[in-house]
Amino acid sequence: MENSKPFKLGIIGAGGIGSIHIRNSIESRNVELVGICELKKSQAEACINGQPIPIVESVGELIKFEPEGIIIASSTNSHGEVAKEIIEAEIPFLCEKPLATDLSQATQIANFANEKQVFGAMAFNRRYHQRYIEIRDAIQADEIGTPETISIISRSANPPSAKFISTSGGLFGEKGSHFYDLIRWIFETNIHSVFAFGDALFDPEFKAINQPDTAVVLMRLENGVLCSLNFSWRSGYGHDERLEISGSNGAIHSVQNSDAAYHGYGKGKFSQLEKFPNWNDIFHQTYRDELD
């Protein structure tokens, strides 16, 4: 249902993600974009197509437009200080990850928001993808029994610049944080322990700044689920994102180029994959072939 009165929104940052928020806000009937905070004015102007939306250079100036909420989409290392200023003004906010560049600062900001009774949220957008919503619903409905393992693959079509990575949190933060959050959200639990390998296998610029372009992360959740995550900044064949969850009574496979949100084995409503009673139904011919 559309609101009778548009929500007054301010946006900080007009870069990659900020520009998406700006354009979506302009197109929405439920939002009135009251101002943009961006040091590079031409970058913000490119997003608004000549519309009379004020562009300012400071958070304080943006606050003067009396937004009912603010999106923080500025450079990664600025989020913490920007969030503090917004909380001080007692304005609700949506922050692109991360909230801060270290745990102590993030905890401090969260506590400050609680003290001021200001609502803040992190913009982990995969929670809003229909495929993942349906997978979460299937897990909550016990369609594959008790979850035991989850495997995720995420490989980007093209790597970001080394300059961007040097300040964004790298592969484990910039990419990985989306999936740590996704896993916690699907299973409604927290992470117990983490182990990871990472290396610069293909990009010498990443190696020069001691940042991995490829990584494998292993995690155990507090509910006992074992997790493996395979990350790369390059696929060579377009964006690749896949997920598999195995449970006591079935499994779910999410394939990005399928018409179905997910496939699986079990009692669920998902598209059922072909089942094989045992391993020999798949490999019986190989024993004949190895004798020839």
Run means of pLDDT, 10 residues per run, the chain, 292 residues: 80 95 96 96 94 96 98 94 98 96 94 98 94 93 94 95 88 94 98 98 94 97 98 93 93 73 64 64 81 82
**Domains in the chain, start-ordered, CATH in brackets?**
7-123 (3.40.50.720), 126-272 (3.30.360.10)
10: tokens are 């301010």
pLDDT in the model for residue 1: 44
pLDDT at 288: 84
Q: What residues are paired with 93 via a beta bridge? A: 70, 120
- The answer to whether the Cα torsion of 283, 285, 288, 292 is positive or negative is negative
Q: Which of 68, 100, 72 is nearest to 169 (CA)?
A: 100
Backbone phi and psi for residue 215, each to the nearest 5 degrees, phi listed first: -155, 155
| Ranges assigned E (strand) in 109-205 | 120-122, 147-155, 191-199
The torsion region of residue 117 among left (phi > 0), alpha (psi -120 to 50) and beta comes to: left
Judging by beta carbons within 10 Å of its beta carbon (0-12, 13-18, 19+), is residue 195 exposed, middle or buried?
Answer: exposed
pLDDT value, residue 265: 66
